[in-house]
Amino acid sequence: GAVVSQHPSWVICKSGTSVKIECRSLDFQATTMFWYRQFPKQSLMLMATSNEGSKATYEQGVEKDKFLINHASLTLSTLTVTSAHPEDSSFYICSAPKVPEDTQYFGPGTRLTVL
Amino acid sequence: AQTVTQSQPEMSVQEAETVTLSCTYDTSESNYYLFWYKQPPSRQMILVIRQEAYKQQNATENRFSVNFQKAAKSFSLKISDSQLGDTAMYFCAYNRDDKIIFGKGTRLHILP
């Protein structure tokens, strides 16, 4: 297997502030990482593809100025929720594919609560 | 569009029984990967089993096996000798070009 970590595991913030979530591949390198959002009792919704050294690719309907993604190294991607509002409260999960397995390994998730 | 359909929102079985979770998918590609992921109450996504579409042999991992019917675009998961720890949400997923498409999931309850 492979290990992907996320930090923090949970965060509470005030409306209007920004929150940064880190995703790290601990024992492999990943040129791409993926960010998902999961509402309670629902499936994972792909938000964006994080590309090392280049701009992220966002899925339709996801605001790129709201959810800033930076993939600064082969083991780290960050998701920043800017000017957070209560409707941004959710569970955010990242994943990274490990080649040549073509299998996605997932982080443990980050629970964001915006007050 | 690529879609993954899980027709069973929720299932319950007695411990030690066998249960089958259904999944169908839609794609025009010939080579792709299929997965079953488990999400227990901790919400950590755990890979259960993977299948490469060009392989005809059904994948197995201990008590978990799949019935892969490529022509029918069906990919069901069989759990044998179910255990209490198998209680979780199960997601069928399709992967091509590293992008994963998930089904809506099946919530599985293993009853003591």
Tell whether the model's pLDDT for residue A99 goes beyond 90.
no
Residue A98: strand pairing partners: A103
Separation between Cα atoms, residue A108 and residue A110, nearest integer Å: 7
User: Peptide bond preceding A100: is omega within 30 degrees of 0, i.e. cis?
Assistant: yes
At A1 the pLDDT is 65
CB B33 within 8 A of CB B50: yes
Average pLDDT, chain B: 93
A67 vs B: CB within 8 A: no
Q: Give A10-67 pLDDT, tens digit per residue.
A: 999 999 999 999 999 999 999 999 999 999 889 999 999 999 988 999 999 999 999 9
User: Where do we find the tokens 């091509």?
Assistant: B96
3-state SS track over A39-56: CCCCCEEEEEEEECCCCC
Tell whether the model's pLDDT for residue B97 goes beyond 80.
no
Q: Identify the residue among B7, B35, B44, B45 best suited for mutation to test binding to A, counting A beta carbons within 10 A and taking the highest.
A: B45
At B1 the pLDDT is 60
At B56 the pLDDT is 86
Output phi, psi for B58, to 5 deg. Answer: -70, 135
- Which residues of chain B lie closer than 8 angstroms to A103, CB-CB? 33, 35, 47, 50
Q: Give B21-58 pLDDT, tens digit per residue.
A: 999 999 888 888 999 999 999 999 999 999 999 988 99
Q: Give A69-87 pLDDT, tens digit per residue.
A: 999 899 999 999 999 999 9
CA distance B41 to chain A (A): 11
At A103 the pLDDT is 81
Average pLDDT on B72-79 reads 97
How many contacts (CB atoms, under 8 Å) link A and B? 50
At B10, the amino acid letter reads E
At A64, the amino acid letter reads K
Token readout for A25 is: 């591949």
